[in-house]
Amino acid sequence: MPAAAPRPIDIALLASVFVIAACGLLYELAAGALASYLLGDSILQFSTVIGTYLFAMGVGSWLSRYFERQLPAHFLRIELLVALVGGALPAILFMANAYVPGAFRVLLYGMVLLVGTLVGLEIPLVMRILKRNTRLQDLVSQVLTFDYLGALAVSLAFPLLLVPQLGLVRTGLLFGFMNAFVALWALWLFRRELRRFGAHALACAFVLAALLAGLLGAEHITRFAEDKFYQDRIVLSSSSPYQRIVVTQGRAGLRLYLNGNLQFAERDEYRYHEALVHPAMAAHGAPKRVAVLGGGDGMAVREILKYPSVESITLVELDPAMTRLFGGNPTLRRLNGDALASPKLSIVNQDAFQWLQGTEDMFDVIVVDFPDPTNFAIGKLYTNSFYALLDRRLAASGYAVIQTTSPLVARKSFWTVVTTIESVGLAATPYHAHVPSFGEWGFIIAGHRPWRLPTALPAGLRFLDLQSLPLLFDFPLDMARVPAEVNRLSNQVLVHAYEQEWGQVGH
């Protein structure tokens, strides 16, 4: 018996499947992104969020068997609930992190379970409604086709368009609107079947009004939550596919945060950047070609430009939003001395690991200024595989310097990096400096030849001088070397050690 021609109502429901799938995946991605922003270790957070969400969808699919009558009415109500809870998920979690941080993790997984269960109910109900006029074979193929197409669309749009242009709060509310419009659509499609049409219409109007109010106030919600979280007044904020960038202004001047983690404070960043750059640069003598990996704020470049011998600097920064911000904003350009506008500088917006694999250039000094290894994506930049690539790009007389967390708080992590550098045949010279905003902070100079104390430093430094420089290389007993494993791509022991050590101080 030939299948009946698809009715307009069936086509409309299949289009709804596309929207439902897109919205469902969006809420999942938003929860994973927020978890990685605020809890660190992106692989762990995304894995647990996705696993919890899929489990909840399975629960929702199982529960759909208990919905026997008035399927369109149940579908409409579920769409409104998904719209309200899923759309508000990023805003609620942002607020929770600011005001009740201890409850963030519980609320995160609670909302993921709730949204996942509701999303798991949607598709089975749509399939049962469509089954009235469609063969099972065609039904399954059609529904799954639209489901996967919706997931594909949002998986591409989320990192490339939605988060950079709208931010997480607006994106969540926008997709909540889309779910609510599906409910509105269902209200019209099934207007003759719904017993309490007026009550359903009122519910749709309420949800749409609530989401519209949230959308209009999204910027205020974000600022309200972040002002509480960061304490100081936020003067700049931006979301990129890679991170949340926030600059605050307070008594200590400007502060830069990436995903909620402090990167520098204006009042003492000179200590950090002088300690990072000058021991290696000055010891070389006359470096001509320099690379900076990370450091998109331009502060390290500012210090490097104090050496007249430097002919070229290659800045490799993954996130173009960072180099745009610190190269374009007048206040931030003042902080880095307009270093990103130097004619000696070339900016490459690429993953440093991939760039090292592809470049054939050799460098006299390589400054490695990555964030701490809070997750496996960053942890790969502290592995023996990465340092082997670094070794190949370092001139015979060259030095690399790596910022390497606190040897006091994260002692094992610090010496793990030293051990890892030595494992590829480079000589490692560790040292440390006190930066008030961070505490005791560690660095490592790596090279094919042993490091030696320089005989001169650039004029005008505020922290380092030739008399105090040797003190940086002296480690007291509580920071002295401890046995440590090599950090490899296959084990990432550094990430585990870092998480354990900083977790003990509530970092």
State how far the Cα of 218 lies from the Cα of 231, in Å rounded to an integer. 19
DSSP-based three-state secondary structure for 318:
coil
**Which one of the listed residues 369, 465, 474, 478 is annotated catalytic?**
369
Instruction: Name the E strands within 376-503.
Output: 394-403, 427-435, 439-447
Alpha-carbon separation of residue 159 from 41, 152, 240, 300, 389 (angstroms):
18, 12, 8, 28, 29
The residue written with tokens 């998109």 in the block is 296
Tell me whether residue 69 is exposed, middle or buried, using C-beta atoms within 10 angstroms of its C-beta: 0 to 12, 13 to 18, 19 or more.
Answer: exposed
227 is annotated as an active-site residue: no
Least Cα distance to 59 among 136, 129, 112, 5 occurs for 112
Phi, psi torsion values for 414, nearest 5 degrees: -60, -50
> Nearest 10 degrees: CA dihedral of 355, 360, 361, 367?
40
Let me know: does 277 contact 313? Beta carbons within 8 Å. no
State how far the Cα of 181 lies from the Cα of 18, in Å rounded to an integer. 13
Residue 196, Cβ neighbours under 10 Å: how many?
A: 11
Least Cα distance to 285 among 456, 461, 462 occurs for 456
Least Cα distance to 255 among 272, 239, 242 occurs for 272
3-state helix, strand, coil split of the chain in percent (to 5) is 60, 15, 25
Q: What angle (nearest 5°) sits at the alpha carbon of residue 277, between those of residues 275 and 282?
A: 100
Let me know: does 340 contact 333? Beta carbons within 8 Å. yes
Q: Are strands 363-369 and 289-294 parallel, antiparallel or unpaired?
A: parallel
State how far the Cα of 355 lies from the Cα of 350, in Å rounded to an integer. 6
Tell how far CA 442 is from the center of its chain: 24
Let me know: does 254 contact 248? Beta carbons within 8 Å. yes
Tokens of 348: 């490459």
State how far the Cα of 113 lies from the Cα of 115, in Å rounded to an integer. 6
Indicate which residues carry an active-site annotation.
369
